[in-house]
Amino acid sequence: MTSEAAKPIRVALLGCGTVGAQIVRLLTEQAHELAARVGAPVELAGIAVRRPNKHRDVPAELLTTDAAALVTAPDVDVVVEVIGGIEPTRTWLLDALRSGKSVVTANKALLAEHAGELFSAADAAGVDLYFEAAVAGAIPLLRPLRESLAGDRITRVMGIVNGTTNFILSAMDETGAGYAETLEEAARLGYAEADPTADVDGYDAASKAAILASLAFHTRVTAGDVYREGISAVTPSDVAAARVLGRTIKLLAICERVGGDGGESVAVRVHPAMIPRNHPLAGVGGAFNAVFVEAEAAGQLMFYGQGAGGAPTASAVLGDLVAVARNLVVGGRGPRESAYADLAVRPIAQASTRYHISLDVADRAGVLAAVAAVFAQHEVSIAAVRQEGRAADASLVVVTHSAPDAALRSTVDKIAGLPFVHEVVSVMRVEGEDS
């Protein structure tokens, strides 16, 4: 193949853990195919790691501890980053971009905080910045948002983008067990990190939501703009209440374009929500991710696949690497940051949501009327109500229509203080069906 005589594309790899090792493997095993697809050989110029003696399965002469030197080395064309974290990674990638290297990264935390700065550096140097692997692992999702749907108006992105929380919630649904013991089990099976905070408190999903919202709505959205609730407060009572209603609980990342008096804005939120058991997202189990995208012309689309893991993530990274390398061979660049719309990010209080509320109340006359009055005072419309007498008290379940989240919260606070309400058993947002 004549293309292999072309000048090689030289790649600096930052990090050689689970994902990095798979990248090294695939670059080696598929060298011939990648060269044919790119139009030039793709070669590793070096691999920056912290402890070289831990990586006996990669060629020792490629290993270095000096990432800063590697990313600006004159014979490097592309920097691939799979270390994660903000610093020193941010500095290395900015240095790489400023030195004229294109960058492929899987670093969701960094992009969710500093995408603007990274894009500016890429633009100034005229190089590419790709990051498909940062959201939903192997699932082609960012490229469809950035490119396939570039002629459409995306209205909503909703999905399961964190495998750890999905594993835990699926297990709680199956076993009826509590959060703490299910998390322990997940850690034992390798589905949760030793420090699971980033996953279970929703930070990981919020970073991904920020990236998705930025691309979908042509607006800079950072992780700090994302309303975030994790899953640690989800109780067996919530799970049981969902089951009674034919629903199940999932941690959802939701990015919406919303109208309003002050013009269009976006709302981005991560929280557990009840969805109908027959909703396609309800069947997404374990470490799989799935994302719904709604656009004005395209209608509803769904993307499904493995959201994490060494090989799937490496697949996404290599897809980006081929794109960047092709651009280097042919000339030209991939899409740049598109933030022209610059929409305001609306706080959760103004977002329109639906609530499921399950109460233990005294079983006597007037209770339902009093509860209904509180909803009416807050202008929250009730979609469904079910009251069941038990020994001394009664179970009262209310599902609302869409209303501002702030109004729903105030409603719940007020109801919790009513004298005949013994306990607020479960409060959970509801998604995945018409309101």
Least distance to a copy of itself, CB of residue 217, Å: 11
Is residue 353 near a copy of itself by the rule CB under 8 A? no
Q: Is the Cβ of residue 333 or residue 414 nearer to a copy of itself in the bound state?
A: 333
Q: Is the Cβ of residue 181 or residue 296 nearer to a copy of itself in the bound state?
A: 296
Which segments of 91-180 are extended strands (E)?
102-105, 129-130, 154-160
Q: The tokens of 287 are what?
A: 């470490």
* Nearest-10 Cα torsion for 138, 143, 144, 149: 170
Provide CB contacts within 8 A for 393, sequence distance 6+: 360, 361, 362, 363, 422
Is residue 312 near a copy of itself by the rule CB under 8 A? yes
Annotated binding residue 124: no
Annotated binding residue 19: yes
Is residue 332 near a copy of itself by the rule CB under 8 A? yes
Q: The tokens of 395 are what?
A: 């179970």
SS3 label, residue 142: helix
Least distance to a copy of itself, CB of residue 27, Å: 9
Annotated binding residue 39: no
Interface residue with a copy of itself among 11, 12, 22, 223 (CB under 8 A) is 22
Is residue 259 near a copy of itself by the rule CB under 8 A? no
Number of neighbouring beta carbons within 10 Å of residue 10: 19
Q: The tokens of 328 are what?
A: 């280097």
Q: Is the Cβ of residue 25 or residue 243 nearer to a copy of itself in the bound state?
A: 25
Least distance to a copy of itself, CB of residue 308, Å: 11
Q: What is the largest CA-CA distance in the chain?
A: 86
How far apart are alpha carbons 374 and 424 in whole angstroms?
A: 15
Annotated binding residue 17: yes
Interface residue with a copy of itself among 6, 17, 30, 73 (CB under 8 A) is 30
Q: The tokens of 36 are what?
A: 């044919």
Annotated binding residue 20: yes
Interface residue with a copy of itself among 102, 107, 219, 315 (CB under 8 A) is 315
How far apart are alpha carbons 95 and 127 in whole angstroms?
A: 12
DSSP state of 147: I
Specify whether the CB–CB gap between 58 and 47 falls below 8 A. Answer: yes
Stretch that binds a copy of itself, among 7-15, 138-146, 164-172, 188-196 (CB under 8 A): 138-146
Least distance to a copy of itself, CB of residue 380, Å: 34
140-179 binders of a copy of itself (CB under 8 A)? 140, 143-144, 147-153
Q: Could you tell me which of 118, 219, 202, 211 has the C-alpha nearest to residue 168?
A: 202
Binding residues for a copy of itself, total number by CB under 8 A: 59
DSSP state of 277: T
Least distance to a copy of itself, CB of residue 291, Å: 11
Annotated binding residue 16: yes
Instruction: Cite the active site residues.
Output: 208
SS3 label, residue 171: helix
Write out the DSSP string of 38-62: HTS-EEEEEEE-S-GGG-TTS-GGG
Specify whether the CB–CB gap between 208 and 161 falls below 8 A. Answer: yes
Is residue 33 near a copy of itself by the rule CB under 8 A? yes
Stretch that binds a copy of itself, among 158-166, 261-269, 313-321, 418-426 (CB under 8 A): 313-321
SS3 label, residue 188: helix
Which residues contact a copy of itself (rule: CB under 8 A)?
A: 1, 22, 26, 30, 33-34, 36-37, 132, 138-140, 143-144, 147-153, 218, 280, 283, 295-306, 309, 311-312, 314-323, 326-327, 330-333, 335, 338, 340-341
Binding site for L-homoserine, by residue number, is 193
Binding residues for NADPH: 108
